[in-house]
Structure 1
Amino acid sequence: MKKVILFSLLFITTIVLAQNFTGVVSGTVIFESDKTPIPGATVVVKGTTNGTITNIDGKYSLSGVPANGVLVFGFPGCEPQEIQVKGRSIINVALKESSYIPIGTIPHK
């Protein structure tokens, strides 16, 4: 009986820890229109302050990302995009340019 209880506790603990597992997610962010990389795009774990920006080649790497988290990608002049992580370690994104451009930003062309 003790073995069954111990096994059950270990099994439940493993499931809980797997759901909360945090890892590293990386990828590339590009413009949907011409497939060029976006330097300076933001990548943030939704609901947190954990984020980063893309490098000159549009590449990013972000640690501490929950396996069931949501990443929010953004860049001025583009529509923000939310992507569910679903345990993936590589997420590439193509941002669509927005028809609304805030004052003070320069559209990509």
Structure 2
Amino acid sequence: MAAPEMTKPTDDGRAKFDVLVEELSAELDVQRASMFGMPSIKRRGGKAFAGLYGDDMVFKLDGPAHAEALSLEGAHLFEPMAGRPMKAWVQVPPAHEQRWLELAKAAEQALG
């Protein structure tokens, strides 16, 4: 059985991701990475905390930030394989891109 086809980002989605990485890099020691085959952001020498899935961003969150992200219209638990949601990861559509920087910072902090 073939692996499910991953949602690929559009040029616009990739551009928004690049802007987010630049904004985060101005404040935090982060770097680009690849996680599950998607463009991701991780703490330098550490773990990934955000990624671009299609044109949506996914963030590894906990506590109030997790609940707040899930409450955004269209947001849901990240489920790269059907029937296997990743409970800590929230997928947030580009309709909320103005919140992505705040969510990325919360995800980076949640790494401890």
User: TM-score over 0.5 for the alignment?
Assistant: no
Q: TM-score, normalised by structure 2?
A: 0.29
| Between structures 1 and 2, the one with greater strand share | 1
Structure whose CA Rg is larger:
1
| Between structures 1 and 2, the one with greater helix share | 2
